[in-house]
Structure 1
Amino acid sequence: MSQHQISQGYHPSLSSMFHRPSHASHAGLLFQSQEAATHHHFYQNLLPKKLQHTNSSYTQSTHPPPLPPKELVAPALGGTDPVPRELKTVAFPRDCLNRFASIASINTSRNRETCGLLLGKDKGGKFVVTTLLIPKQHSTSDTCTMDEEELVMQFTEERSLITLGWIHTHPTQSCFMSSVDLHTHSGFQCMLPESFAVVCAPNSTPNFGIFRLTDPPGLKTILECEVKEAFHPHPERPIYTDADKGHVQMKDLPLEIVDLR
């Protein structure tokens, strides 16, 4: 996936998920998808080739294992997640979790996932999530596929918003990052190190988690993974960690919710 630099500095844009803009490109949102029996998430095929998963022939069964393998989770603090530079703080509205869970409740009651985008602004010294965008989508108990992606592109371009993270539910499972989630999130984090993933598990305790890939070794491990099955284990090393005990800070902030469904 190519990166372009602009005079103001690195600034990822959701629009590059659909075309190559003249400014900075962005990995884009990649939710789980069964379409075309491929490991690609809902529009990974639209990403620039450089940062797509190295093996594009993944197969995904209609019914993945009831308990996907869990990865080794690194402690959030204590120097286990070194990064090449200090991460900017991301301010995340505290009530986003409850409001998203409420929006997803009908799907959750039907054992169907719900997904959304966390959009916001670069405030210079920090990022601020300002908007929860619910795209048009269809889903199953373990997948969520976005429809009419051009509506998302239009929305983010009109508002000059950038994608800071993504959020989705695990209707019946616990709160963790599956291997599919990890491959999804690697695209985000390659382009914006501060990117984070939120998992909401309404029927589990804890009922939410805010995560990022460790870097190293998690990001490199996922990018170099060539396992063909969608749900699969990775080497026993700290692959991901809690971001809300790190650079993501929950604050009492206003939140705009836009539901395109």
Structure 2
Amino acid sequence: MIEHLQDTVTLNNGVKMPGFGLGVYKVDEEVAVDSVKAALENGYRSIDTASFYNNEKGVGKGIRESGVPREEIFITSKVWNDEQGYEETLEAFERSLEKLGLDYLDLYLIHWPVKGKYQDTWKAMEKLYNEGKVRAIGVSNFHVHHLQDLMSNSKVKPVVDQVEYHPHLSQEKLRAFCEEADIKLEAWSPLKKGRLFDEPVISELADKYGKTSAQIILRWDVQNNVITIPKSTHAHRIKENADIFDFTLTDEEVTRISSLNKDDRTGKNPDSFDE
């Protein structure tokens, strides 16, 4: 479990990744510049984007304008569904790199498990990894069976599976599988777009610790050893989201929050998404 904002977790290839970062899902290009700068100014060192978000240029600009050295920042991007396939992925990676204005990525993910394509996509990502163009490769929105299928035909194991994860979707089976396989689980939409804030358990704990509901949920992520990347476009909220390292939930409280699970998604099910 990380104990400070800039603490890292060690991925299965030895690369160290911050356990907490900023997500910029579909943030406007210009807004992304300021969001990234605000995050980096407040101590964040991990930024998560994707080609689908259409803001890689803004993310890159924010990184450059922040003044924080490139080597201190962990940058993730993802290959989108219509970019998948072997050659297509190699081309998509170069486009992302160019938009970001970078020489390499720290982490590159398959955004969704597009049937019939993600195996070839992974082979391209292995090539990028072996050539040193990306420090680590992983997946997003993969169920256990997708991971099993991928690993049965691959040479490099994914380091991360980034999935929708929050108290209404605690993904215990997937989390247990990833822990056993030494794959880090990473949470997107950890706050369920604010739809968890009125849960009585969350509100009660927020009052007890003098924290916001968001901070209670993000602390639950951290104590479950799940990498988390909350999205915000407001500097004060970006700072507030990371202010979760001065208190600790009890084991019973973590369990109470986990018991809120409803297997309820805000996004698509990876077995039935629109490819």
If asked which structure has higher relative contact order (CA below 8 Å, sep 6+), I would say 1
TM-score (norm 1): 0.29
TM-score by length of 2: 0.28
Normalized per residue, the structure richer in helix is 2
